[in-house]
Amino acid sequence: TRFAYRINIHRNRYLIVQAEWLRKGFSKMFGLPQEKFIVATPDRKSGIKIEVKSCANNCYTFLFASTPDCHKNFETLCRATALLERELGVGKFKVILTISGNENRYARWLYRHWGYLKSIEFAGFMSREQLYLNYASAHCLVFPSRVETWGLPISEFAAFGKPMLLADLPYAHETAAGSRQTAFFNPQSSDTLKMQMKRLIERDFSFLKEIPHQVLAEPATHTWKELFDLLLQ
């Protein structure tokens, strides 16, 4: 996509990106000063009031909220689930995916390879309200995506203060800033993810860390109003 981004890129007064790592990356890639980039992070306020549940259920629930695109890397989570089900058996944990398994070729491939697993629920598309209900009831968010500008489910789920297992990539480190119980894994390593999931099922949270807040360099905005005020001044 760098070839699409570079068209007329030097003629803009400002360039808008969602994250600091993108500002630094594009600045280096296209030879532009970082001051030309506005980091416009998504508004972290959902506007949805959901009660945070204590998750007393003995069946430990993992959730991966995403669309059925191949870069989302569902297969690493599915492979980890297969390994874990083979080791622990059925009933101790569940993995909820927000795909049905028939949306496109990639989704059908996933279902063909891992649809037999009793520990995976191919739950399908969820409305925003349904998704937040699942955020509230799940024990842990897993986010193995290989490529994101932001990774919105991370910041949405972080507001609940519950464990998150995230791909060890720049976008996830930045989006998870301020979260209280987070660990990272190599997005290609289903074995590492399996071990982390097993530790959580066994109620071992010792490897989870608090991720410090980041102070963004200017120019930066956090709401649509702040962004347009900056552009129009």
Q: pLDDT (tens digit, 0 to 9) for every residue of the chain, 233 residues total?
A: 778 888 888 888 899 998 999 999 999 999 999 999 999 988 766 555 556 555 556 799 999 999 999 999 999 999 999 999 999 999 999 999 999 999 999 999 999 999 999 999 999 999 999 999 999 999 999 999 999 989 999 999 999 999 999 999 999 999 999 999 999 999 999 999 999 999 999 999 999 999 998 888 899 988 889 999 988 88
| DSSP conformation letters of the chain | -HHHHTTTGGG-S-EEESSHHHHHHHHHHHT--GGGEEEEPPP-------PPP----SSEEEEE---S-GGG-HHHHHHHHHHHHHHH-SSSEEEEES--S-SSHHHHHHHHHHTT-TTEEE-----HHHHHHHHHH-SEEEE--S--SS-HHHHHHHTTT--EEEESSHHHHHHTTT-SSEEEE-TT-HHHHHHHHHHHHTT--TT-BPPPP-PPPSSEESSHHHHHHHHH-
Token reading at 159: 């507001």
Give CATH for domain 60-201.
3.40.50.2000
| Closest alpha carbon to 49 in 152, 163, 139, 132 | 132
Q: Which residues of 171-202 are buried (b: 16+ CB within 10 A; e: fewer)?
A: bbbbbbbebebbbbbebebbebbbebbbbbbe
| Residue ranges of domains in the chain | 2-41+216-232, 60-201
From edge to edge, which strands make up the β-sheet containing 220-221? 15-17, 37-40, 220-221
* Alpha-carbon distance values, 8 to 39, 44, 161, 225 (Å): 20, 31, 42, 26
Look up the pTM and report it: 0.88
